[in-house]
A and B are shown apart, each in its own frame.
Chain A
């Protein structure tokens, strides 16, 4: 991604402030700290070296130790008064505070002391700029599952950090509970639920496990082994399509198309027709049962019939016993 001027300028100023407090910082450390490649750090230092205040005589310029530089280490020798850390702008404060609150509100994160203290310190550091963020209300974790997810997340996190294989008892969307060993790759969240992405030894493939469906997780004491997959996917949900469903919905269920990336094929009074790419039949069945009377029709027909048969069986259970 091309870097914007403001982003680079923010980093150049931040590096000067950071280096003012430290001597002989390895380029690799700067690169890791500021999240950019080492070559970018070298370009940044080259830019800073010819920067300064108008006049641009040698004494007006930022200066670095050339000896350190040649050894891939950076020492700032003249900061020219540019080493003052810059406050957060209002837009910056809001963007980061809201993001951090979203993290804090995730299941299992509310009790994390570093999250709570980081939020308090960020809010204090942002000053007045933090006030605008108060007008943003985020979802809070489902209290019915928070304690459970918190335990699962804690174990998954420890196993991930230590490269350890875990054993899961997992209930799928179709209510099938299985036992399996998984080599954790990363923990993902879409702001509502957590997913463990890992190599599943039962299916011999990468799988995403929703932590609120993990009935039990234990560490095996065995090392996770490397697999021929990216350790980070960068996206929360897998992108795959098993089938394309067509749902005829009441207009008030338009959110289904908006939320799940469906396409509205037709629209008229009283009904919208939505095409939806579906990765999992069980997921679609759950959606249809959840929507209830807002689903006016469903294709493929075979799927509609199997959902209808299961619903009829459930109604029979109500009549039989209840």
Chain B
């Protein structure tokens, strides 16, 4: 059908009082159809003369055959609520509706379950399409330690969630290095360059090159201390204490000698930073025996906290050391030490 055919024969368009109004309605409806995944194709051929013909491509219309069980459609119903109110919410619910068209009633296995994960900001969409088309993106970015936004040019590889925050991982073309950028720190719009403009080999997958989070930096760094030697930690735990730590124990034995009366637990270290935070949080209920780097990380935290008795939140008064441009870039997740330096620990 040509645009004129549509205007003449499809219900609703006769309400358009003039050409402009019709054009607006027509454009709006095309957008809606494409949002819905309806493959609207344009044709120019003899049959349509000089006009463009519009047709729904039925070959690309159908949902492939899918047989979802009641339990599976139940699982999808819970998943579709995840983005509550965010920009991914509507497309997720539309996808569920389409699948319901060919599915039996959901079973109640997951009824009573509510899952809400922190949604990415709207910059998710252009970044995802840039990754798919291997394009370079440009955006303003305000790092954690920088006072003003700076322009970044990045070849994006992957969108990553860590500790409830969204990041884009990619190759920073200005710094010529792999970097993570927190989506909420991107300022303004993301400009997507030409398809195929990215040239650096991708690093993807959450294993290998991309280590666990360095939470203290609020970003993602490589796991430090993963020299392979200390995957298991030994900690002494006071009786009846540190229940949360006990749940993680690979093994527990009664303490001996100096640790008589305590329990000695073996723990998988995983992310040493996270584990140090958990253990420090249990204060005198837990003492780290080994490895030394974990022990040091916990003691460093305890020393800093012990110093809090003597300082207030002095926003006026003595100047603290500026941390304006550290050697590594904590904002974007360069290599971070898991044990903060003593220089920082001594401040107050």
Interface, chain A (partner B; CB < 8 A): 4-7, 9-11, 13-15, 17-18, 29, 32-35, 54-56, 84-96, 98-100, 102-103, 106, 112, 114-115, 117-118, 121-122, 124-125, 127, 131-132, 135-140, 142-145, 148, 157, 160-161, 171, 175, 177, 184-192, 212-213, 215, 231-236, 246-248, 250-256, 258-259, 265-271, 273, 285-286, 288-299, 301, 304-305, 307-318, 321-322
Contacts and interface: CB of A to CB of B under 8 A. Distances in A.
A108 B63 CA distance: 31
- The 5 A-B residue pairs whose C-beta atoms are closest, nearest first, are A89-B37, A255-B218, A292-B301, A171-B243, A191-B117
Nearest to B300: A292
B217 interface: yes
Interface in B249-300: 258-259, 267-268, 270, 277-278, 280-287, 289, 295, 299-300
Given A96-B80, A289-B277, A297-B308, 9 more contacts: A13-B36, A98-B88, A103-B115, A114-B72, A117-B69, A253-B216, A255-B163, A292-B216, A310-B284
Contacts of B96: 96
A103 B79 contact: yes
B151 interface: no
A315 B306 contact: yes
A161 B108 contact: yes
Interface in B159-202: 159-165, 169, 182, 184
B284 A125 contact: no
Contacts of A99: 79-80, 82-83, 88, 92, 117
A13 B281 CA distance: 54
A29 B285 CA distance: 55
B270 A318 contact: no
Q: Is the interface of B mostly helix, strand, loop or mixed?
A: mixed
Given A14-B98, A246-B313, A175 B282 contact: yes
B240 interface: yes
Contacts of A124: 64, 66
A145 to B, nearest CB: 6
Contacts, number: 441
B62 A269 contact: no
24 contacts: A6-B35, A11-B97, A18-B102, A56-B11, A85-B63, A89-B37, A99-B92, A99-B117, A100-B75, A102-B115, A103-B79, A114-B69, A135-B204, A188-B114, A189-B115, A258-B165, A270-B320, A288-B308, A289-B305, A290-B278, A292-B300, A311-B305, A318-B295, A318-B299
A101 B345 CA distance: 39
B10 A121 contact: no
A185 B78 CA distance: 16
B114 A92 contact: no
Interface of B: 9-11, 32, 34-38, 58, 60-64, 66-69, 71-80, 82-84, 88-102, 105-106, 108-118, 125, 128-129, 131-132, 144-145, 147, 157-165, 169, 182, 184, 204-206, 210, 215-219, 236, 240-244, 246-248, 258-259, 267-268, 270, 277-278, 280-287, 289, 295, 299-315, 319-324, 330-331, 340, 344-345, 347-348
